């Protein structure tokens, strides 16, 4: 992750949105 911060942030954002949708349901 420390090698490709942008990719890590994209993956983290995707996981965050997924968790948010699950919590929203």
Report pLDDT for 24: 59
What is the chain's pLDDT, residue by residue, as a tens digit (25 residues)?
Answer: 456 667 777 777 788 787 777 665 5
| Residue in the structure block whose two tokens are 């968790």 | 19
Q: Number of H helices and number of E strands within the chain?
A: 1, 0
Q: In this structure, how many other beta carbons lie within 10 angstroms of the beta carbon of residue 15?
A: 10
Enter the pTM of the model: 0.37
Report pLDDT for 13: 77
Report pLDDT for 4: 61
Report pLDDT for 16: 77
């Amino acid at each position: 992750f420390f090698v490709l911060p942008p990719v890590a942030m994209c993956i983290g954002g995707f996981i965050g949105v997924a968790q948010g949708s699950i919590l929203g349901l």
